[in-house]
Amino acid sequence: MSPEDHSAPPATPGKTRLSRELVLSAALALVDAEGLDALTMRRLGQELGRDPMSLYRYAANRAALLDGVSELVLDELDIIPDDPDWQAQLRRIAHDLRLLALRHPNVVPLLVTRPLSTPLGLRPLGTLRPLEQILSLLIDAGFAPEDALHVYRAYYGYLYGHILNELQEFVVDPDENEALLRLGLHRLPPKEFPRLRALAPVLADYDGMAELDEGITILVSGLAARLPLPGASTKP
Amino acid sequence: MSPEDHSAPPATPGKTRLSRELVLSAALALVDAEGLDALTMRRLGQELGRDPMSLYRYAANRAALLDGVSELVLDELDIIPDDPDWQAQLRRIAHDLRLLALRHPNVVPLLVTRPLSTPLGLRPLGTLRPLEQILSLLIDAGFAPEDALHVYRAYYGYLYGHILNELQEFVVDPDENEALLRLGLHRLPPKEFPRLRALAPVLADYDGMAELDEGITILVSGLAARLPLPGASTKP
DNA sequence: GCCTAGAGTCTACGTTGTAGAGAAGTTGTT
DNA sequence: AACAACTTCTCTACAACGTAGACTCTAGGC
């Protein structure tokens, strides 16, 4: 019962100086906990025990803040370009990214959407790093640069697609998943959606990891087959 | 110069009664022309020459309006389940959807993002129709229902991934594409992004259609290979 | 003519992002 | 210790947003 009652549940209680990292990680925590809409300047300010306006020292505006959150999340992904077995690498990274998406489902819309409104070269560097690193990995493994780009595109395309797919079917609470699904699907007119309704039980237990793994296998072996065999030098 | 002058540039100047179709197509036009952020209730009302509040007769709230726009766009895609050649069908649909995305790039974030916040069964019906139809197509072609679901997931996953990829590199004005790209990439620190910078010219001329086609080929033949051969009955 | 239902409008409220001026706090120089 | 220069944080204010609730207007049926 002190006169100034600043009990800060997740916030920094005292008066430590702010920093970009502090702001961004508070933003990420907020998004993880309550979704993208909860991330308003005012709310974040309150979470940090500061005036909302103070945030503008660390992010030019709300959009930049969102970019910062994307960057922060992507930094959790580490790509170590040691292993020369590119297929194994791509598989591992795919699983890592999938887990990362499951850990921060509310951030995925950002990851997927923000690049659409920013020209490639003007994106936050943290966002481009995975691209650079995977290119590097592939080229080191023996791909010609252009082919590496093609492989990257097919790979990342499928990977993001899968993540979106899986997150769509994941919804809220995994324990209630089946019930919710049945409930939801029950609403569909049986004449128009016989197939979907019939597949309800199958939809209910969806093993995203296994499915991703199969997809990667198909894609990677398909790619390997139609490209100049890796391992051989590409110099003339 | 008749008293009721209903020439509609984008708006209906006279006093024709509103309808859901009218509202939604005006909304779509607005999004296509000026982006998602331009679609506010007030702005759309003004575009239709009506009070913003009148829109609430035709969409429960802004989110529902966005759903309506998604639905409207997806209705442009028609899946005719006649051709028993599922591979050709999937390829055709993929190209159709790609073109649709290029026609309405500003809607793509909606297509990709809104399902993430809505349980499958509660989505607008128009959004689920492609899923149902593709399932139907695959099952008719001889796939067991569960396998059809797997094929669908891999296919749609890759397809959406590709579209996102392509739209990211497309940006604004295709004529300035190369210049913009170089300009943008020039900003990147050479030490950190050597591969990306070196690939600038290749990035500049990106043939999305060809790339999609190759990817589909790989995926579809991969899928065909590892599934019980289609055409044969799946009954024991 | 009036009556009723639906379509469209008006007013108002709370919340949002952020510009601009100022206060408070920190650091370096003497 | 005293000042100045800079950074960081706060205060106030404004325009624009979504939308609740009560109103008016219009079109048909009698």
Between B65 and B232, residue with greater pLDDT: B65
What's the pLDDT at A6? 32
B130, B92: one domain: yes
Give pLDDT tens digits for B19-53: 999 999 999 999 999 999 999 999 999 999 999 99
A120, A28: one domain: no
Give pLDDT tens digits for B191-224: 999 999 999 888 888 899 999 999 999 999 988 8
Q: Is residue B233 part of a domain?
A: no
Q: How long is the CA B231 to C1' C22 vector, in angstroms?
A: 78
A45, A144: one domain: no
What's the pLDDT at B152? 95
A28, A105: one domain: no
How far is the C-alpha of B98 from the C-alpha of A33, rounded, in Å?
35
Q: How many domains does chain B have?
A: 2
For residue A54, give the CATH number of its domain.
1.10.10.60
What's the pLDDT at B173? 58
Give pLDDT tens digits for B75-95: 999 888 777 789 999 999 999
A152, A215: one domain: yes
- Rounded mean pLDDT, B94-123: 94
Between B172 and A15, residue with greater pLDDT: A15
What's the pLDDT at A171? 61
Contacts of A172 in chain B (CB under 8 A): 119
A52, A84: one domain: no
Choose among A132, A139, A196: nearest Cβ to B131: A196
CA A200 to chain centre: 27
A171 touches strand C (CB under 7 A): no
Q: Is residue B13 part of a domain?
A: yes
A99, A141: one domain: yes
What's the pLDDT at A83? 77
Range of A40-49, B118-127, B162-171, B182-191 with top mean pLDDT: A40-49
Q: Is residue A47 part of a domain?
A: yes
- Rounded mean pLDDT, B119-146: 92
Domain span at residue B29 reads 1-59
> What is the rounded average pLDDT for all residues in chain B?
86
A84, A179: one domain: yes
The segments of chain A whose pLDDT lies below 50 read 1-13, 230-236
Protein-proximal positions, strand D, CB < 7 A: 8-12, 16-22
A45, A91: one domain: no
